[in-house]
Chain A
Amino acid sequence: MRNAASHAPAGAAKAPRAGPPVFIWLPSAAIALLMLLPPVYLLARTAESGTAALDILISGRTLAILLRTVVLVGVVTAACAVLGVALAWLTLRTDLPFRRAFGILTALPLAIPSYVFALLVIVTLGPKGMLQGWLEPLGVERLPSIFGLPGAAFTLILLSFPYVMLPAKAALHRIDPATEEAARSLGRSARGAFFHVTLPLLRPAIVSGSLLVALYTLSDFGAVSLLRYPTFTWAIFIQYETAFDRSVAAGLSLALTALALALLVAESRSRGRAAYHRATPGTQRAFRLVRLGRWRWPAAACAGSVVALSLAAPMAVLGYWVARGVSAGEPLDLLWANALNTVYVSALAAGAAAIGAAPVALLSARYPGWAASALERLAYVGFALPGLAVALAFVFFGASVLRPLYQTTFLLIAAYVVLFLPASLGATQTALRQVSPRVEEAARSLGKTPFHAFRLVTLPMLSRGIAAGAALVFLLTMKELPATLILAPTGFRTLATSVWSAASEAFFARAAMPAILLIFAAGVPAAFLVLRERRD
């Protein structure tokens, strides 16, 4: 564990080894190739635009947008880190009432498309929204405007805190309670043990989750456009949507990539070279729940209000729309086929991303070097780009070079992997950092091949991290829109495309039913994760 003795670089203990075995480098190379598609496409398109993209990029207005984007990313990320860690700890390590129910419910906001949530925020909290209607008898004529930073940040925080919470829970599982007990026995208070032992040990999980929040915020279009907070991604969309200019859009997308890479470098700096696994032999003991005592119900109220704002309130408005639609004669269509399609592609994407993330995570943890860190950063690029840019990259290559695969589920899943691999990678890497390389070395010394050592020793210890990552990818894929619309086989409909199709034409009653189903379907991976916790 991260005690004084193990502050030495993790790699230092390892004897110099040969290069990575084939089961690591071959899939890693394949992933690298896949991940290169969007940047290569964007470079090719940008080259066409001449200096037009550059002119827009260096204009004063773009710099102002950039600043606004950074402010939003900072606010959302910081709030999600606090909220995510607090909820992870409360729902896993304490005697919080209904903690398993909270564990499931707090993961679900991830499945709500940001434009749907933004729409609901406007309907309920807008200057003349539902809340104002209720307060009108009290003399409230108009609520303060939620447009701009407050509304955009509010929406993105409530939708994105699970990016931190899920990896943090997976990491909390693997922290040996003995370290916390040691701190207590040396005179730390319970709070002191949390802040000086648990929290530092959670750092990789918090940082990798926060990175996802930051990159997601960077790439979001739905919330910022409806809540009128112009960000960089909005500027890119204007190029696609209004000027029909793919080359300038590509240039701006490359600039966004550079911003994302800057965040990644900052992340790896902050991670440093500390080790997070046990330094001494022994196995981890199950932890005992922290008694919250008189804080038990106040804590439940806090968790409850997060669930109320991020899930119950949206569900209530959606339910109201459905009821209003049904009473106006709208047929109640349960869209089973679309729901099945959603679960089908999301499960495939989650599986593919988990399989794709494992070799990359192993490469970067066990064979650090320029190739590993380059691949690791490359893997995050797709996540930060607008989905439309990634989808068009796949159109560009799919329609020409991979014609037989174009508009098949296979290429769609490949695009999902490019978009969402980081969600899986971060969780897997965090788990891997908590596994000492010595256990693999022990297996090797007993005559196992590297692959057997990985399969029999490392993989089982990674299972929780891999599952958390897969669940994240599942939830992300469920609500994905631009790539699904463009790359799915013609006629293929998911819940997300049904919501969009109805909402974009102002058929809110018709949009509400698939949106509710989307949230229910998200309960499947969320419940899967929480039920696995019972094994402890």
Chain B
Amino acid sequence: MRSFARSRIVLAGALAAALAVSACGGASPTNTPAPRQPDPTATPLPPQPSPGALVIYSGRGESLVDPIIRQFADATGIDAQVKYGGTASLAATLLEEGTNSPADLFYAQDPGGLGAVEPLLSPLPNGILELAPEWARSPQGLWTGISGRARVLVYSPERVPESELPADLSDLTAPEWKGRIGWAPTNGSFLTMVTGMRKIWGEERAADWIRGMVANGAVAYPKNTPQVAAVAAGEIDVGLVNHYYLYRFIAEEGENFAARNYHLPGGGPGALVMVSGAGILSTAENRENAERFIRFMLGTVAQQYFAGQTYEYPLVENVNVNRLLTPLDEIRRPDIALADLADLEGTTAILRELGALP
């Protein structure tokens, strides 16, 4: 009994010790973050200054952007440390951290996330802002787009013949679409689209559209991917999504995947083109490296990566769009400034009021 109890105490002590060690080290055995400052004792006569580090908070998925970030680190020697998470939760994290944030750069899935942390960002130099087209960057120069994504209707070619496809979003409120539509009312891109709709169509018509969609029993999905899967599985016939998810499903499940994209020929809010983007925090310790990172991401290599590997629209000239995609100039995208897409809170309030959000 005595030795039994003692072994327990020893175990408890070992755990406490392990905790203490981990507190000092701040790292697990398999995680060795490089020190931010170069070790002064390691190289007494440095031939050139070490390129240092860069701390990125990325709301874009690791599977999508890690390869290109690794390429950046290899090319520059910069120790790029990335914290991956959801765009909204990382935005909330940055806001809680305030001026104490260890982050240098925020790489967000959508303009909404960047807009939420705008008070923490510092303006980008003109040399960077000029890289992306004007419609794809913050009006105050606080952040810039990195890659483009188009709003599309994902549909089932089996159940929706081409002749029946709608010209415009407003057609979806017609009775023949009852019970056949999916949407993701909590998704950032969807909210941005509705914000654009309020601007382009006016508040009244946008509210009517939301009412019509709710009356048509639009099925609420938590995000885009389950909608694409649901169209292929036959749960719904059309869904309002971003364009690139479809190609990942096709890459994984083959050409027989039973869904296709459709760019609304009538233009308007349903044909909005949006961006993922990045901004530099005013408290960044590695500002120069952060600027280098954005330049790299808007350079030919990275833009080609986005076009080829993630099926997104490149934002610079001289980089070809993936041949599977509809070229950007064939999309009737509405002419709307990003500044007019900022009021996500107002959109959320309206959606809640009209019963589209719980």
Q: A-side interface residues toward B, CB under 8 Å?
A: 61, 65, 119, 122-123, 126-129, 142, 225-226, 228, 230, 234-235, 237-238, 240-246, 324-325, 328, 337, 340-341, 344-345, 347-348, 351-352, 354-355, 388, 391-392, 395-396, 399-400, 403, 405-410, 413, 455-456, 459-460, 463, 482, 485-486, 489-492, 497, 501-502, 504-510
Which 10 pairs of residues, A with B, have the shortest CB-CB distance?
Answer: A351-B15, A410-B23, A408-B26, A128-B234, A230-B358, A244-B116, A409-B22, A225-B222, A399-B100, A505-B61
CA distance A354 to B9 in the complex (A): 12
For B220, the chain A residues whose CB sits under 8 A away are 228
Is B135 an interface position by the 8 A CB rule? no
Is B233 an interface position by the 8 A CB rule? yes
With both chains docked as a complex, state the minimum distance between the C-beta of B283 and any C-beta of chain A, in angstroms.
11
Q: Check B27 against A510 for contact (C-beta < 8 Å).
A: no
Is B122 an interface position by the 8 A CB rule? no
Beyond A328-B251, A392-B92, 5 additional pairs, beta carbon < 8 A:
A228-B221, A238-B357, A348-B18, A455-B5, A505-B63
Q: Check B235 against A126 for contact (C-beta < 8 Å).
A: yes
For B245, the chain A residues whose CB sits under 8 A away are 506
Cβ contacts A to B, 11 pairs, < 8 Å:
A237-B186, A242-B186, A328-B252, A351-B12, A354-B12, A355-B12, A405-B23, A460-B1, A491-B83, A505-B225, A505-B248
Contact residue among A244, A407, A456 (Cβ-Cβ distance under 8 Å from B91): A244
Is B336 an interface position by the 8 A CB rule? no
Is B95 an interface position by the 8 A CB rule? yes
For A501, the chain B residues whose CB sits under 8 A away are 61-63, 84
Is B268 an interface position by the 8 A CB rule? no
Q: Check B86 against A408 for contact (C-beta < 8 Å).
A: no
For A340, the chain B residues whose CB sits under 8 A away are 28-30
Interface centre among A348, A407, A409, A501 (most CB of B within 10 A): A409
Please tell me the size bucket of the interface on B.
35 or more
CA distance A169 to B191 in the complex (A): 48
CA distance A234 to B283 in the complex (A): 33
Q: Check B83 against A490 for contact (C-beta < 8 Å).
A: yes
Q: Which of B125-133, B201-209, B312-320, B344-352 is near enough to bind chain A?
A: B344-352
Contact residue among A234, A240, A344, A396 (Cβ-Cβ distance under 8 Å from B29): A344
Q: A352-B15, A492-B28 are in contact. Are A395 and B93 (CB under 8 A)?
A: yes
CA distance A490 to B93 in the complex (A): 13
**8 Å CB contacts to A: which residues of B27-77?**
27-31, 33, 55, 61-64
CA distance A497 to B253 in the complex (A): 23
For B26, the chain A residues whose CB sits under 8 A away are 405, 407-410, 489
CA distance A494 to B284 in the complex (A): 27
Q: Check A399 against B84 for contact (C-beta < 8 Å).
A: no
CA distance A409 to B222 in the complex (A): 31
Q: B-side interface residues toward A, CB under 8 Å?
A: 1-2, 4-5, 8-9, 11-12, 15-16, 18-19, 22-23, 25-31, 33, 55, 61-64, 81-86, 88-93, 95-98, 100-102, 112-113, 116, 186, 188, 191, 219-223, 225-226, 228-230, 233-235, 245, 248-249, 251-254, 344-345, 348-349, 352, 355, 357-358
Interface centre among B19, B230, B254 (most CB of A within 10 A): B19
Q: Check B19 against A244 for contact (C-beta < 8 Å).
A: no
Q: Check B102 against A407 for contact (C-beta < 8 Å).
A: yes
- Chain B interface, >50% SS class: helix
With both chains docked as a complex, state the minimum distance between the C-beta of A116 and any C-beta of chain B, in angstroms.
13
Whose C-beta in chain A lies nearest to the C-beta of B310? A505
Contact residue among B15, B98, B358 (Cβ-Cβ distance under 8 Å from A399): B98
Q: A129-B233, A234-B358, A355-B12 are in contact. Are A61 and B100 (CB under 8 A)?
A: no
Q: A348-B19, A405-B23 are in contact. Are A502 and B63 (CB under 8 A)?
A: yes
Q: Check A486 against B358 for contact (C-beta < 8 Å).
A: no
For A459, the chain B residues whose CB sits under 8 A away are 5, 8
Q: A408-B23, A463-B8, A489-B33 are in contact. Are A506 and B228 (CB under 8 A)?
A: yes
Q: A225-B222, A352-B19, A456-B1 are in contact. Are A489 and B31 (CB under 8 A)?
A: yes
Q: Check B89 against A122 for contact (C-beta < 8 Å).
A: no
Q: Check B61 against A241 for contact (C-beta < 8 Å).
A: no
CA distance A348 to B21 in the complex (A): 11
CA distance A491 to B82 in the complex (A): 6
Contact residue among A341, A409, A489, A505 (Cβ-Cβ distance under 8 Å from B64): A505
Q: Check B5 against A341 for contact (C-beta < 8 Å).
A: no
For A463, the chain B residues whose CB sits under 8 A away are 4, 8
For A240, the chain B residues whose CB sits under 8 A away are 88-89, 92
For A392, the chain B residues whose CB sits under 8 A away are 92-93, 96
Q: Check B102 against A243 for contact (C-beta < 8 Å).
A: no
CA distance A408 to B19 in the complex (A): 11
Whose C-beta in chain B lies nearest to the C-beta of A491? B81
With both chains docked as a complex, state the minimum distance between the C-beta of A480 and any C-beta of chain B, in angstroms.
13
CA distance A459 to B154 in the complex (A): 61
CA distance A392 to B85 in the complex (A): 13
Whose C-beta in chain A lies nearest to the C-beta of B85? A485
CA distance A403 to B4 in the complex (A): 40
Q: Check B63 against A490 for contact (C-beta < 8 Å).
A: no
Q: Check A492 against B352 for contact (C-beta < 8 Å).
A: no
Q: A226-B226, A242-B186 are in contact. Are A395 and B96 (CB under 8 A)?
A: yes
With both chains docked as a complex, state the minimum distance between the C-beta of A481 and any C-beta of chain B, in angstroms.
9
CA distance A126 to B12 in the complex (A): 47
For B357, the chain A residues whose CB sits under 8 A away are 238, 242
With both chains docked as a complex, state the minimum distance between the C-beta of A309 and any C-beta of chain B, in angstroms.
20
With both chains docked as a complex, state the minimum distance between the C-beta of B306 and any C-beta of chain A, in angstroms.
14
